[in-house]
């Protein structure tokens, strides 16, 4: 039975707390930094999530990292193997 006095409630995506976003906030991280770091970590030597988080905070996200050249990636501490793996993510590399 429909209640005519009830208002339609619209829940937007930004209002939904997903487990990863909650985990990021609990760690004091921006949810986008956490998501980007999770994508980057498997490409780093030892699948180093802590290093991935530091890099994402340093370069302000995966999008910016993908715009960096090989010498810039080397300057922020990526090994030759890591740089090659990261290049795979960039369709313009």
- CB atoms inside a 10 Å sphere around CB 55: 25
pTM of full prediction above 0.85:
no
pLDDT in tens, 28-61: 888 899 999 999 999 999 999 999 999 999 999 9
Please check whether residue 37 is in contact with residue 52, taking contact to mean a CB–CB distance below 8 angstroms.
yes
- CB atoms inside a 10 Å sphere around CB 47: 11
Give dist(CA 93, CA 91) in Å, integer: 6
Q: Residue ranges of the domains in the chain?
A: 17-89
* pLDDT at residue 39, rounded to an integer: 93
């Amino acid at each position: 039975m429909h209640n005519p006095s009830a208002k339609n409630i619209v829940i937007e995506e930004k209002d939904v707390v997903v487990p990863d976003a909650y985990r990021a906030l609990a760690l004091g991280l921006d949810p986008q930094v956490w998501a980007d770091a999770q994508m980057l970590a498997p490409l780093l030597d030892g699948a180093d999530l802590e290093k991935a988080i530091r890099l994402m905070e340093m370069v302000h996200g995966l999008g910016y990292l993908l715009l960096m050249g090989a010498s810039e990636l080397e300057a922020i501490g990526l090994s030759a193997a890591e740089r090659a793996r990261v290049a795979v993510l960039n369709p313009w590399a």
